[in-house]
Each structure stands twice: as C-alpha cells, then as structure tokens.
C-alpha cells in the first residue's frame, strides 16, 4: 500500500483522528485484500482504533480513537444514534427529494445483505442537491448504521447509486452524456468512476470533554471529475 496515513488526516485532536479514506481500501482486514487502513493507522500511532466502518469502495470521513475511553465514548454515541453523518451519492435518474425518509429493515445473513422485514431497523433521509440530464446528486443522512444501508435504500426508491452493480446501479460513461463522443479504435470505453459513487462528506460527535467536533472531507478525484463532466454536459 502506497498510502501514508498522515497524508489523509483531516483533523487530529487529543483523543480522535478524522481521516479522508480513499476509495478502494478496506477499513479492516478483508479476505480478498490483506492490506487495510487500520494497519496503516497503527504505523502512525500503535494504539489507534477505528470507531466505525466504510465500505471498501466508499470514500470519505472515517474516525479513529487514540485511547480506550475515547473509543468507548464514540461507540456509545454511534449506538445511541447521536453521531452526525452526511454522505453524498450520485444516483441514476432525476429525483426531487426534500426530507425523503426510507424506513426499511435490513438483514445480514450468510446469504448476503438485503431488505427484510425480519431484519434490524434502518432509517435514512434523502435530499436532492443537483439534478442533471440522467443523474442526480443526493445528500444522504443515515439515522441508523446498517451494512449497505444507503445503497439498499436508494435502490428501494428506484434510483440506485451510480456504479453499484450489486444493487442495480449502472456505470457512468462519458458517452452517455457527451454528444458525438468518439472512442479511439480498438479501445473499450471505461467508466469515469470505477466504483460505487458514494462519499462520506461529514461526521461529527461529542468528544470526551463535552465538545462537539466534526470534520468534512473533500471529494476524491473520481467523484469530482464525474460531477464536473455532469455539470458541463447538463
């Protein structure tokens, strides 16, 4: 792994470190990839613990604690739904949402992850930020923190995340928005984003001293370029 942990730090306090996790890196050990972000974090500070997870393909704010008390304090807030979380997603189709709430339970089993009335409660609120010809930029505010929650809830609404092949999302090709797009001979067009178009923009919580702390993560290059192209050919 070429990544240096210190290069992705957004904010560091006495007890916590917020980082901007790049896409394509697992938060914890993964069966398909032995390298992971926690391993790199502990090269920076050996006692660091990760307070939550982001999917391998998801980029954005990830929180680490420097000591056991800070970890416990964060864990309680995640459990009590007091951590403020904001994501941005590029979705298929044009949507106009303001306070759109989805409350659909999610079940995780050896067969996979999916919506299931017998699963655990899962709630997400959605707001439209920008609308393009065939896509929309959506703000996602998860109240609970179930696995693949935002991805499943957007698919439930009929507007899966761009590039999310597991849940019906289509790849985003420049040819789909640019007229008279010419592809070089003998080449195959590649999607602008080669992953699920989901980014954890902001995360905030109360620290062990009672102060509210948060951090905001800028878009990674692939997300920023996708938005630039969508705005250019709107």
Return the active site residues: 55
CA–CA separation, 72 vs 172, rounded Å? 40
CA–CA separation, 10 vs 86, rounded Å? 16
Q: Which helix (H) or strand (E) holds 153?
A: helix 149-156
Region label for 191, one of left (φ > 0), alpha (ψ between -120 and 50) or beta (otherwise) = beta
CA atoms within 13 A on the CB side of 49: 13
Q: Which residues partner with 115 through β-bridges? A: 106
């Amino acid at each position: 792994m070429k990544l240096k942990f210190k290069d992705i730090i957004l904010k560091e306090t006495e007890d916590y470190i917020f980082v901007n996790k790049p896409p394509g890196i697992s938060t914890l050990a993964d069966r398909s990839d032995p390298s992971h972000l926690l391993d790199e974090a502990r090269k920076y500070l050996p006692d660091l613990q990760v307070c939550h997870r982001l999917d391998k393909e998801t980029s954005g704010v990830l929180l680490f604690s420097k000591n056991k008390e800070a970890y416990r304090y964060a864990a309680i807030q995640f459990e009590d739904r007091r951590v403020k979380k904001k994501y941005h997603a590029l979705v298929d189709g044009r949507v106009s949402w303001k306070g759109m709430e989805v409350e659909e339970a999610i079940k995780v089993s050896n067969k996979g992850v999916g919506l299931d009335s017998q699963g655990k409660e899962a709630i997400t609120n959605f707001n439209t930020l920008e609308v393009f010809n065939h896509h929309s930029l959506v703000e996602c505010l998860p109240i609970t923190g179930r696995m693949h929650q935002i991805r499943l809830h957007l698919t439930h609404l009929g507007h899966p995340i761009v590039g999310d092949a597991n849940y019906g999302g289509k790849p985003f090709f420049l040819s789909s928005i640019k007229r008279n797009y010419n592809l070089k001979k003998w080449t195959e067009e590649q999607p602008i984003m080669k992953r699920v178009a989901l980014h954890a923009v902001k995360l905030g919580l109360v620290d062990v001293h009672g102060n509210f702390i948060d951090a905001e993560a800028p878009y990674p290059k692939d997300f920023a370029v996708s938005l630039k192209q969508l705005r250019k050919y709107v």
